[in-house]
Amino acid sequence: MTSSTHSPLPPVCKHGPAGVFTSALRRLVNNPEFSSDVKFVVGKERQEVFAHRCILACRCEVFHGMFSRQPQTGRHTDLLESPVVLSEVQPEVFLAVIEFLYTNCVTLNNYIALEVLTSAVEYGLDDLRKLCVEFITDTLKVENVCEAMQAAVTYGQFDMKETCLTFIENHTREIVKTRGFHELSDLALVPILQSDSLLIDELELLCAVREWAHVNSVVLEQPLPEVVKDAVKELRLALLSPDELTRLEKDNHKDSLVPVEQIAAAWKFHALKKANTGARPHLLQRRKGTRPRDHHRYLNLQHK
């Protein structure tokens, strides 16, 4: 009779209900009781927010570095009497970040989502960033899509940028009238103007870009041609009729929105009646919302 030896089984980690744990930790959010040992003074309102260094430090490298540089007196009252001042962030936004650090969940709405995304990027909280992007893309509206597009470009969120662009393509006429459109940076506007799928005629788009340029010229305190120099290159002037080009030239005498060379290239197309005018190929394609003109039969008609 032989005896056999059995190798011990490896330990197995069993998880209890995540919701119970989350709910328990949520009670510690901004709670001055239960040995909170750090106080933040947040926003112009100077709202006090209480937290626990150990939780913030183990969940966020930025807070870990912040607290590591601070002297440790060992006295609980000293720590609370030396608050961390965060005057540039809204209390509601900071509390959303704190909620995430404690519970791995975040409560968002359309008023704070973009700012929470900003904080997520600044604090290096990638999971929070993903939650913000998901919420923002799921709740896009005509009124907020340009702000979302701007954030996507600013923070390099490619998928979010593509989702915003698709929304803009499908609602272009309404969106170009919004304040958000007029507040776009040139870096955010250019990829919009490069799209073949905008549901707007080129003449309307030209007017919208002119309004955008005048607003940004005032805000940035720069000459209008300087503000619009990159964006205006994406306007498809060859789509305009001779009468429309003539009106454009008259308007252009007032503000110099479009370089004369660009207008001359459009006239060259009309004179030669062929697409080989040296223009970039996409500038000779109709957009999805382009109204047909007689001369379009000589163009590369991507949208018929």
Residues 286, 24: Cα–Cα separation, whole Å: 58
Residue 36 has pLDDT above 90, yes or no: no
Total domains present in the chain: 1
Please report whether residue 147 resides in a domain.
no
Please report whether residue 222 resides in a domain.
no
Please report whether residue 89 resides in a domain.
yes
- Place 113 in a pLDDT band, splitting at 50, 70 and 90: very high
Please report whether residue 121 resides in a domain.
yes
3-state secondary structure of 35: coil
- Place 3 in a pLDDT band, splitting at 50, 70 and 90: low
Please report whether residue 277 resides in a domain.
no
Residues 264, 90: Cα–Cα separation, whole Å: 50
pLDDT of residue 80: 57
Residues 67, 258: Cα–Cα separation, whole Å: 54
Q: Per residue in 215-238, pLDDT tens?
A: 999 999 999 999 999 999 999 999
- Place 66 in a pLDDT band, splitting at 50, 70 and 90: confident
Mean pLDDT over the full length of the chain: 89
> Mean per-residue pLDDT for 82-98?
93
Q: Per residue in 261-303, pLDDT tens?
A: 999 999 998 888 775 556 678 888 999 999 999 999 888 655 5
Please report whether residue 67 resides in a domain.
yes
pLDDT of residue 16: 66
Residue pair 103/26 in contact (Cβ under 8 Å)? The answer is: yes
pLDDT of residue 74: 54
Please report whether residue 34 resides in a domain.
yes
* CATH, residue 77: 3.30.710.10
- Place 117 in a pLDDT band, splitting at 50, 70 and 90: very high
- Place 17 in a pLDDT band, splitting at 50, 70 and 90: low
- Place 9 in a pLDDT band, splitting at 50, 70 and 90: confident
| E-state strands within the chain | 38-42, 47-51, 84-86
Please report whether residue 270 resides in a domain.
no
CB under 8 Å to 43, separation ≥6 — which residues? 86, 87, 88, 89, 90, 91, 94
Window from 11-25, 56-70, 137-151, 215-229 with minimum mean pLDDT? 11-25
Residue 182 has pLDDT above 80, yes or no: yes
Residue 198 has pLDDT above 60, yes or no: yes
Residues 58, 55: Cα–Cα separation, whole Å: 5
Query: What is the residue range of 63's domain?
Result: 22-132
Residue 85 has pLDDT above 60, yes or no: yes
172: exposed, middle or buried (Cβ count in 10 Å: 0-12, 13-18, 19+)? buried
- Place 125 in a pLDDT band, splitting at 50, 70 and 90: very high
Residue 19 has pLDDT above 90, yes or no: no
DSSP for 62-103, written as a single string: HHHHHHHHS-----HHHHHTSPEEETTS-HHHHHHHHHHHHH
The three-point CA angle 113-110-48 to 5° equals 60
Residues 128, 60: Cα–Cα separation, whole Å: 11
> Mean per-residue pLDDT for 84-108?
94
